[in-house]
Structures are given as structure tokens and as C-alpha cells.
Structure 1
Amino acid sequence: MHGVGDVRFFDRLARLYDLVMPAADPVGLSDAFDLANVPVRRVLDVAGGSGRASLAIANRPDVERSIVVDVSAGMLDRAFDRGLAAIRGDARELPVGSDAVDAAMIVDALHHVPDRDAALAEMYRAIRPGGVAVIREFDPSHPLGRLLAVGESVLGMGSTFVARDELLAALKASGFDPVLLEEGFVYTAVGRVPTDVDDTDA
């Protein structure tokens, strides 16, 4: 699970979280899903909290189901209140079978996952060939990213931010074909799961 301090923080913040956090970017997430070689029908919203990212892709026509996975019961209560499918689970041991989804996303939350490599390996296991992992993160090499890292440390959180090039290398090491889709304070890295067969119409 997340570091205990982070889980307790989000449990306490759950009722206020959506008042202080902006909505997730539907255009950026949709552009990332467009890199998949299969229709993106089933999505895991990993460390998805209150479901910000799931709401952002709700109007994408090919998405049939997005499931929020998080360790914070308080945040999942907010997702349930919004009518979203949600299940309590750890990013390092996702509660789905292998090749079970077409995409998995971690939006603004990878820095709260204590074992990044384990989470990436689990995403690779869960996504079927041709699918994508989409990660939106804050770059600690950017001035605003450094400020955010200091702020979360002051709050007592166990955040571990990762710069874009390091994340791209980690995606590659996990078996993905990595692509940098957006860069800056907030960046988007996409990991494509290789496939030898074009099963776009599957």
C-alpha cells in the first residue's frame, strides 16, 4: 500500500480533495489512449482516488468501463458517491487478471506509490498486448515540481517524484515501448504494450 502517512492524509482530505484539485485533463488522456493499437474499452484508474481521471474519460465513446483502484477508503467513498466503479487495492498488486484491461492510468499519483517499479510491472501484466499505460506526473526537475516536492515533504508525505527521462527508462525496463506525449511541470508518459498482431478490431 501507499506509505501509511499518505493513506491517512488522503483519508482525512477525501471530503475536500475535489474542491482543491482541478479536474483531470480529458484531452491529454484521450490523446494518450489514441496511441493504443486496440480499442480502449476497459480501463484501470490506478491510485485513482476520488475518480478524477475516470470522470475525465467518461465521454470517450470507446470506453465501456473504468475502475478506480486505490488504497484509501475515504477517497474510494468519494468515487462511489460519484457513481464510479471502484475497488480497494494496491498499485503493486492490482486486483485484476493478466491481460484484463486495454489501458491503465496513474494521474498525478505515481509519486505516492512506494515501489514504482512494482507498480509498472503490475500495469504491464494487467494490460493486454496493444494497450497502453498512461502516466501523468509532476517533474521534480521543473521549478514548480521542486516546490511541490518540498511542500509535500513539509506535510509529512512520503512522496517520491520521478523526472520524465527516468520514468521513460523505467517504462522501457518494464517491457513497455515508452513515448513522451507532453512535457513541462506536468508531463505525460505513455507506455505501449508491444504486440505482434494488429488486433485493432478485436
Structure 2
Amino acid sequence: MHGPGDIRFFDRFAPLYDLVMPAADAEPLDFALDRASRPVERVVDIGGGSGRATLALDVPERVVFDLSEEMLARARSRGLDCVRGDARSLPFADDSVDAVTVVDAFHHMPDQQTVVEEVYRVLAPGGVFAVREFNPETIRGRGLAFAERAIGFGSSFVSPNELAGRLDGAEFEAAVLDTGFEYTVVGKKRESH
């Protein structure tokens, strides 16, 4: 799921995407999913594009969710289940997903708070929202933000603490798991008492 201007780029770039992007690192994602207090059997990878990060997830049901049809075609060619749509209006039932991941894509999403609220809605109690993102507080992160603006992306990067604060504000139990050029923040949906 990307901003409208970003979508055209990803549609055009889809055939080359996996050639220039490194494979996703499964370890931080596994660590984040381990924070769930329920079995993680169904994961939706928002902004999952070609399925690069989805493939790193070792769960029974993995769904790639993205707005770019060309990127989803790449994911389908890898045998992954795909759903096309906008993360501001997720086509999943309330409390129906065990985990939601966003890897290297949250900064492309307009109305990030609406996305956070939608993820909260579809997550089952005890489920987790794991975000792997680039840190604009690092030198490399500032360079990436500048480069994306220069090529016309509508990117909006947030720091690990800012993202954790947004998740807390949306009723998640949030934690920053690691920091650096890339960071991981996880929010667990509280279980009702």
C-alpha cells in the first residue's frame, strides 16, 4: 500500500524490485511475532509488494496486501496469497488476524494513524502489529528520506519512539525492539478482561 504517486513508481519498478532489494531479515520479524499472546497462524503483510518479507514469515497462512497490482503479480508468481487494497480500509473482519506486518513500507502510507487504527480493528486480542522501518534519526535514514522526496515520493518517516507513541495512543501495548538505520516496533492488542 503506497501513496497514489508512489504506486505508479512501484507498478513500473516491480520487475526489478527483487533484483535490487535484499531479502528480508526474518529474525526481527520472528522476535516481534513472538510477542503475541496467541498462536500466530494468520499474518497479513501490509505493503507487502512482491512478497519479499512475507516469504520470511514461517506461519501457516500468509497474505500479501498491497495497492500495486504489478507488485502483487510478483508475489502471486511466488505462490503467495494476495489481496489488493488500501490499508486505510482493510477488507478483513474485526479480530480476524493474528499478526500484521509492515516491512520497509510504512513511510509510503498516507494517513498513517488511520492505518494503525485499521490494524487494531482487524487484529485478534493478543495479536501483534510488527513494523520494520527506516529511522529518520540516523544519517542513512535522513539520506533515504531526502532521496525519496527528490524522486517525488510522498514518504513520511517516523522515529521508533514516535511510532511506539502512536501505537500506545491507539490502545496497543507498544515496544521498540531494536534501533539503527532500520528499527522494529511492535504493538500488541490488549486482551479484554
Length-normalised TM-score, structure 2: 0.98
Number of residue-to-residue matches in the alignment:
193
CA contact (8 A) 2:2 2:47 kept: no
2:126 & 2:180 partners in 1: Cα distance?
27
CA RMSD of aligned residues (A): 1.0
2:10 aligned partner, one-letter code: F
What's the secondary structure of 2:156's corresponding residue? Answer: coil
2:187 is aligned with 1:179? no
1:187 aligned partner, one-letter code: Y
Poorly superposed stretches of 4+, deviation over 4 Å: none
Unaligned runs of at least 5 residues, structure 2:
none
CA deviation after TM superposition for structure 1 residue 38, in Å: 0.3
Which residues in structure 2 correspond to 1:27-106 (within 5 Å)? Answer: 27-57=27-57, 60=58, 63-106=59-102
Aligned to 2:128: 132
Aligned to 2:141: 145
1:152 & 1:2 partners in 2: Cα distance?
13
CA deviation after TM superposition for structure 1 residue 196, in Å: 4.0
Unaligned runs of at least 5 residues, structure 1:
198-202
1:43 & 1:95 partners in 2: Cα distance?
14
Length-normalised TM-score, structure 1: 0.93
Determine what percentage of the aligned residue pairs are the same residue: 51
1:94 & 1:66 partners in 2: Cα distance?
15
Which residues in structure 2 correspond to 1:151-170 (within 5 Å)? Answer: 151-170=147-166
Aligned to 1:121: 117
1:52 aligned partner, one-letter code: R
1:2 & 1:168 partners in 2: Cα distance?
21
Q: Residue deviations 1:4-62, cap 9 Å, x none?
A: 210000000000000111111111111111010001000000111011111011xx2xx
Aligned to 1:200: none
1:94 & 1:196 partners in 2: Cα distance?
22
